[in-house]
Amino acid sequence: MSWIKEGELNLIEKISANVLKAGPMPKHVAFIMDGNRRFARRNNIERQEGHTQGFNKLAETLRWCKHLSIPEVTVYAFSIENFKRTKDEVDGLMELARQKFERLLEERDNLEKHGVCIRVLGDLNMLPHDLQQLIAKAVITTKSHNKCFLNVCFAYTSRYEITNAVREMAWGVEQGLIKSSDVSEPLLSECLYSNNSPNPDLLIRTSGEVRLSDFLLWQTSHSCLVFQSVLWPEYSFWNLCEAVLQYQLSHKSIQKARDLHREHQASLQLEADRVCVAEHLQHHGNGKPADVQRRQEALQHYTTCRQERVQDFLKALKHKRDSYFTDLCSDGV
Ligand code: FPP
Ligand code: MG
């Protein structure tokens, strides 16, 4: 099956979608697509067929999201923990990914027509080299599309992603691009694999398991979490509508928590800048206390310099990441 499933909603689905769309809609939905193997066992089919049907369900879900005007979706396709499964199953999942990314490249015109940008979040180094190259090609091919976004978490766990972000900031300090005092919560967010996306509004896990399994831990602290008992390959349009409805019911409190958090971050940053300026003035002020106007000017100057420094660091980081993908592509596919 292709990544893009064409087709309209039927009449009752269309009416329901329009009713839902009269309320606040999530702009970004994340899925833990769990239950493929239980689905296979219950239906007496091969485990690999369960995963294949899981992919088909993903394509169908993307179509529903498009009709519900949800422009961004993130899915947990392969966790670093999944490498601990049997060789047979890991090889099967790698082969499925190979087939699907090859297919994605074949249907590049259709992806362009629909404006679909595919990103892969995770440590590609853990994957077979040919798959790394295919993924890099797919990501580069759809990079400039901007109508809808699919983030595929592959060789991913959240704690690994956060640790990697901390490493990137340490690299920035080592290179003299940023100061250790520039390290902050918003800067760490910018160093995550997910830096190009807003945080998910809604996270859905299927199969009845009530845990996050190291998925988007940083990004979902103010998201609506919905756990549904249906197995992923059996997921339906109505399951998705029910989850969106739950989001709508908690939308106000989520929004409030986010606003409060944003304000708190801004005041923390201001305080951090003030401390740096005070230290600077103490060292360079010949023991004389600075007046209010001088402190204010110094603070403004420091804030502007810090913002420029951070932007230059993020540009360098982006260049490093882009080069990794282009090098993989020019590596003779
Ligand atoms: C979880 O169910 C599912 C996975 C570990 C794999 C998910 C992968 C897909 C749906 C295919 C996506 C492929 C691409 C290329 C995007 P499980 O295996 O944990 O099943 P269980 O919970 O019943 O044991
Ligand atoms: Mg599972």
Q: How many CB atoms lie within 10 A of CB 59?
A: 14
Q: What letter would DSSP give residue 27?
A: S
> Rounded distance, CA 172 to CA 183, Å?
10
When pLDDT is averaged across residues 159-177 and rounded to a whole number, the result is 98
Closest ligand (CA of 213)? 2
Q: How many Å lie between the centroid of ligand 1 and the Cα of residue 204?
A: 14
pLDDT of res. 224: 98
Question: Is residue 287 classed as helix, strand or coil in its secondary structure?
Answer: coil
**Band of the pLDDT at 134, cuts 50, 70, 90?**
very high
Which tens digits make up the pLDDT trace of 39-97? 999 999 999 999 999 999 999 999 999 999 999 999 999 999 999 999 999 999 999 99
> What is the rounded average pLDDT for all residues in the chain?
95
> Rounded distance, CA 216 to CA 258, Å?
16
Which tens digits make up the pLDDT trace of 176-195? 999 999 999 999 999 999 99
- Ligand 1 atom index nearest CA of 52: 11
Backbone angles phi, psi at 228, to 5 degrees: -120, 145
The whole-model pTM stands at: 0.95
- Ligand 1 atom index nearest CA of 96: 15
Determine whether the shortest distance from the Cβ of 55 to ligand 1 is under 6 A: yes
Which tens digits make up the pLDDT trace of 290-329? 788 888 999 999 999 999 999 999 999 999 999 999 999 8
- Ligand 1 atom index nearest CA of 75: 16
More confident residue, 329 or 133: 133
Determine whether the shortest distance from the Cβ of 100 to ligand 1 is under 6 A: yes
* DSSP string over 193-262: TTTTSPPPSEEEE-TT--S-TTSSTTTTTTSEEEE--S-GGG--HHHHHHHHHHHHHHHHHHHHHHHHHH
pLDDT of res. 286: 66
Neighbours of ion ligand 2 (CB under 5 A): 34
> Rounded distance, CA 214 to CA 225, Å?
14
Mutate to test the pocket of ligand 1, among 36, 105, 119 (most ligand atoms within 8 A of CB): 36
Determine whether the shortest distance from the Cβ of 225 to ligand 1 is under 6 A: no
Closest ligand (CA of 33)? 1
> Rounded distance, CA 36 to CA 57, Å?
10
Which tens digits make up the pLDDT trace of 282-292? 888 766 777 88
Determine whether the shortest distance from the Cβ of 233 to ligand 1 is under 6 A: no
> Rounded distance, CA 254 to CA 225, Å?
11
pLDDT of res. 42: 98
Which tens digits make up the pLDDT trace of 230-242? 999 999 999 999 9
Which tens digits make up the pLDDT trace of 1-28? 788 888 899 999 999 999 999 999 999 9
**Largest pairwise CA distance in the chain:** 81
Closest ligand (CA of 138)? 1
**Band of the pLDDT at 332, cuts 50, 70, 90?**
low
